[in-house]
Amino acid sequence: MTNAFFKEKTLIGSFFNTVAFRVIEEAEVNGELQENLIEKYAVISTQGKRAHSTFLDELKKNFRGLDKNEDIHRLKKQKSETKRSIQSVIDTWTEKAKTFPFKVLVTVLEQSQSSTVGFTVTVSNIMNVKLVVKPGATTNEVQRIVMFGIDEKKNAWEDSSYLVFQRISQLAIGAVDYINRTKGEDSLEYLLDWLASYNDLYSAVCHRCQKHLYLDSQYFKLLPPTLRVYDQAKSYATHPQCV
């Protein structure tokens, strides 16, 4: 197994288990992941293991289309270039979004002294996505991403009352990790594209099973296609289980 594989594993595990995350940080001391420490991580929490396998499977299957050599080449090239500000990325993307056949609105909420930017992405009349993003040296760090129904008045540190948006918020963690790894400085732009692809949440049938509702789990119950996957830069609606 490659280092990239472990990296993926750690990113996913960290979301579910902060203890495990500390082990992973130790494991990265020399800039490389140590296999024995990764194994230590694996036995810390059965919850973490379950989450790992679910999300790893989803990531590997769902975002295959983004992983291309040309992207990796471009990522390396961009590392030395000046980082664009979050606001300018949003401005550029908003201009592009005007050509979409549906409405997407990005509202920047605050810019604190620590330069963390909070903003809301309103996708059509479907959902509000609240993000808190911290500018980084090479990539912007998404500290929080959470989906809400269009009628919900909640802040970025709360959760939606709707199961469908709780589920999409869960899937978004994996998407952010993957996009960050593969898109570097373009991550935010791709993330906005990915969010906009949810404009057909209530109408799209699953690309695979051709149905709208699917029994996601005992907790989430029947849900529409909650995932958007890319293939050849085109997004498809799908149930996570159908990928």
Q: Does 23 bind Zn ion (CB under 5 A)?
A: no
Of 44 and 242, CB closest to Zn ion: 242
Q: Contacts for 223-228 with beta carbons within 8 Å, 24 or more apart?
A: 223/163, 223/164, 223/167, 224/164, 225/201, 226/164, 226/167, 226/168, 226/171, 226/201, 227/58, 227/62, 227/171, 228/194, 228/197, 228/198
Kindly tell me the sign of the dihedral angle through the C-alpha atoms of 156, 114, 76, 106. Answer: positive
When asked if residue 209 is in the footprint of Zn ion (CB under 5 A), the reply is: yes
Distance CA 171, CA 158 (A): 16
Tell me the CA distances in angstroms from 109 to 13, 23, 89, 118, 186, one per residue in order.
Answer: 30, 35, 15, 5, 21
Site for Zn ion contains 43 (CB under 5 A): no
Number of residues counted as binding Zn ion (CB under 5 A): 5
Stretch of 21-29, 73-81, 190-198, 232-240 contacting Zn ion, by CB under 5 A: 232-240
User: Residue of minimal CB distance from Zn ion?
Assistant: 206
Angle between helices 46-62 and 163-183 (to 10 degrees): 70
Stretch that binds Zn ion, among 31-39, 72-80, 169-177, 209-217 (CB under 5 A): 209-217
Structure tokens at 237: 């609606």
- Of the pair 19, 222, the CB lying nearest Zn ion is at 222
Give the nearer residue to Zn ion in terms of CB position, either 79 or 211: 211
Q: Is 160 left (phi over 0), alpha (psi -120 to 50) or beta?
A: beta
> Which of 56, 163, 204, 242 is the binder for Zn ion (CB under 5 A)?
242
> Shortest Cβ distance from residue 237 to Zn ion (Å)?
9
Instruction: Kindly identify the residues of this chain, within the stretch 188-207, that bind Zn ion according to CB under 5 A.
Output: 206
| Part in contact with Zn ion (CB under 5 A); list of ranges 62-70, 120-128, 162-170, 235-243 | 235-243
239 is a contact residue toward Zn ion (CB under 5 A)? yes
Q: Helix, strand, or coil here: 12?
A: helix
Instruction: Quote the least distance from Cβ 119 to Zn ion, whole Å.
Output: 31
Q: In terms of CB distance, is 14 or 238 closer to Zn ion?
A: 238
Residue 230 Cβ vs Zn ion, minimum distance, rounded to whole Å: 17
User: Residues in the site for Zn ion, rule: CB under 5 A?
Assistant: 206, 208-209, 239, 242
